[in-house]
Each structure stands twice: as structure tokens, then as C-alpha cells.
Amino acid sequence: LMPHPRPRRVFIDTPKGRINAGFTVPAEADAADVSMALRRCGWAPYRLRLEPEQHAWVAVVIDWKRAA
């Protein structure tokens, strides 16, 4: 049997630290898939980074409330 790849967690980097986005994406998801999932949750990502050793995607988002 082939092992199933682990889903990847999604985190958001904030000025106060890293928070969990509250969902995972399949291991084969690419940056566009992660970006669209974040947008559906109300985030505005502008940079994504894959951390394969952590099985995670990390997003830097635009915080419109702080920017205003």
C-alpha cells in the first residue's frame, strides 16, 4: 500500500505571530489553490510560502483594518 500524503496546514503570519487559518489543503495543492481558499475565508493573501518540513503553507496577508 502506498501511504497517503499528509494534508498541509495553512497558517497566517501576523505582527503578533503565526495563527492557524483553520483549514488544511491537500498535499498536491499549489499556491493558487491556497490563495483561493484564503480568499474564500475573507483573507487577502499577497505572499505564500511552502514549508515542506512542517507540512504547511504560510501566508502573509493584507490587513485592511490595520492599514486604514
**Mind listing the pLDDT tens digit for each residue in 6-63?**
899 999 998 788 999 999 999 999 999 999 999 999 999 999 999 999 999 999 998 7
Decide if pLDDT at 67 tops 70. no
Which comes out higher in pLDDT, residue 66 or 38? 38
pLDDT of the residue at 57: 98
CA–CA separation, 66 vs 53, rounded Å?
A: 31
Q: Which helix (H) or strand (E) holds 17?
A: strand 17-25
pTM: 0.84
**CA–CA gap between residue 14 and residue 60 (Å, rounded):** 7
Helices (H), 1-68: 31-40, 64-67
Say if residue 2's pLDDT is above 90.
Answer: no
C-alpha distances in Å from residue 9, one per residue of 4, 24, 60, 66: 15, 4, 15, 25
